[in-house]
Amino acid sequence: MADDKSLPKIGWVGTGVMGASMCGHLLDAGYEVTLTTRTLAKAESLLTRGATWVKTPRAVAESSDLIFTIVGYPHDVREVILASETGVLAGCKPGNVIVDMTTSQPSLAVEIAEAAARREVDSLDAPVSGGDTGAKGGTLSIMVGGSGRALTKVQPCLDLMGKTIVHQGGPGAGQHTKMVNQILIATNMIGVCEALVYGHKAGLDLPTVLQSVGSGAAGSWSLNNLGPRIIDNQFDPGFYVEHFIKDMGIALAECRAMSLSMPGLALAEQLYQAVAAQGHGRDGTHALAFAIANLSGIDWLKR
């Protein structure tokens, strides 16, 4: 590894389910990290490992060369990056790179890139897929939109967080690719949950069923990683239901703008709205099993 003094200084905003692990990989590699997050307690593990706390995203940028953000919703992205007094961009210097890893609106990614360019700052939209498991293991898929020059600057950092880093195109292309990812997951999760409910009702031993179907043509990441959690009634979030509803809303809005009909996506969004209404908005996306089982009068937790 290069001498620590030769490494760019890292800024980090957001230490949620995935962000804390992702930032931790940079600390472990010897990067100097300045961070902020709304809830100080969520940053404690990083602070004890050497990160420095500051009060605002602007202060993060003022101490950093490369600034990463991963927050909840597009309005959060707008606030932490574009707020005129306290945002990341307000603290940037020419040559800095902003990397937003939140799943957000493609149009907002373009807006941020244009605002950054006016300050001679580069901006990348780099949403991720892989959930808490991928974040902890450094095996995320990272979809990048923006300039190749900026990507070259941050590539060593991304390599610590993910195993598949692909430059998808200009500003917004990373977010559009993430929408493709979420559309794939949305309908696949319906199939996973319906199949497990069917297997349960048929009296099968579900772990034994997974041994057969998980390695065949029906196998998927969701089935093999989240299927066992559903069976074991483990619904801690790798990715929140409420955040997935946000993502599907963005995808549906983009579909309307492009005059696309997406009936499968629309159905998944409605089923997930039902999951949230049943009190599972802060559970993992595999909590869709509750809504699917409930349609047939099955209480999944008490089955």
- Its CATH class, for the domain covering 10-169, is alpha beta
Band (pLDDT 50/70/90 cuts) for residue 5 is low
Mean pLDDT value across the chain: 96
Interatomic CA distance for residues 139 and 108, integer angstroms: 26
Q: Where in the chain is the domain with CATH 3.40.50.720?
A: 10-169
% of the chain exceeding 90 in pLDDT: 94
How many angstroms separate the Cα of 219 from the Cα of each of 132, 189, 225, 265? 20, 12, 10, 20
CB-count burial class (<10 Å; 0-12, 13-18, 19+) for 60: buried
Exposed, middle or buried: residue 179 (CB in 10 Å: 0-12, 13-18, 19+)? buried
pLDDT digits (tens, 9 = 90+) for 168-203: 999 999 999 999 999 999 999 999 999 999 999 999
The tens digit of pLDDT for each residue in 73-124 reads 999 999 999 999 999 999 999 999 999 999 999 999 999 999 999 999 999 9
Measuring CA to CA, how many Å separate 160 from each of 122, 163, 256?
Answer: 21, 8, 36
Q: Is 178 a catalytic residue?
A: yes
Tell me what pLDDT residue 4 has: 64
Closest CA to 233 of 140, 298, 139: 298
Provide the pLDDT for residue 207: 98
Q: Where in the chain is the domain with CATH 1.10.1040.10?
A: 177-302
Across 286-302, average pLDDT = 96
Amino acid 142: pLDDT: 98
The catalytic position among 5, 178, 246, 302 is 178
CB atoms within 10 A of CB 73: 18
Contact 47, 70 (CB under 8 A): no
| Greatest C-alpha distance within the chain | 64
pLDDT above 70 covers a percentage of the chain that reads 98
pLDDT above 60 for 3: no
pLDDT at 289 over 60: yes
pLDDT over 50 (residue 2)? no
* C-alpha to C-alpha distance for 24 and 135, rounded to whole angstroms: 10
pLDDT of residue 131: 87
pLDDT of residue 1: 41
Average pLDDT over residues 56-66: 98
Homologous superfamily of 177-302? N-(1-d-carboxylethyl)-l-norvaline Dehydrogenase; domain 2 (1.10.1040.10)
What is the mean predicted confidence (pLDDT) over 217-243? 95
- Which alpha helices (DSSP H) does the chain contain, by range? 19-28, 44-47, 57-62, 74-82, 106-117, 131-137, 148-161, 173-201, 206-213, 221, 227-231, 241-257, 263-275, 288-295
